[in-house]
Amino acid sequence: MQDTHLAALPPDLQMLYAAAVVARQNSYSPYSHFAVGAAVRTAAGRIYGGCNVENASYGLCCCGERNAIFAAVCAGERDLDAICVVADTQQPVSPCGACRQVMSEFKIGKILLGNLKGDIKICSLEELLPYGFDL
């Protein structure tokens, strides 16, 4: 796990971060008031955004990371190489267990966790989900 800052990222990862911040603007989070944005990048360099979408029936809420990954998959993409997730947190936001498992399904190698101040942690799947489930 590497702690860094937006300004120190290479331009391609700065773009991925920017896409996550933009996706976050569409967060529908009237219950938690905790807006999350995510952006996933394909091996070919295409970027798909997602935000958290909540529901009055709380269990139906879906996280930003999963919505970004599902948007990519629904567009026919399966070769996903990086994801960035952003929230307005003191430290870089930590993805929930369900999202870690979904990242694992698509073997997303590079995972960027960020906040709006531009603090970034870069981690691997193995760091986020050691001994994860696989069939």
User: Burial of 23 by CB count in 10 Å (0-12 exposed, 13-18 middle, 19+ buried)?
Assistant: buried
Shortest approach of ligand THU to residue 87 CB, angstroms?
7
Shortest approach of ligand THU to residue 118 CB, angstroms?
19
> Which two structure tokens, joined as six digits, stand for 14?
């700065």
Catalytic residue status for 77: no
* CB atoms inside a 10 Å sphere around CB 50: 29
CB 49 within 8 A of CB 71: yes
Catalog residues that contact ligand THU under the rule CB under 6 A. 29, 32, 34, 36, 52, 54, 61, 63-65, 95-96, 99
Q: Which is nearer to ligand THU, 8 or 97 (CB)?
A: 97
**Which residues carry out catalysis?**
65
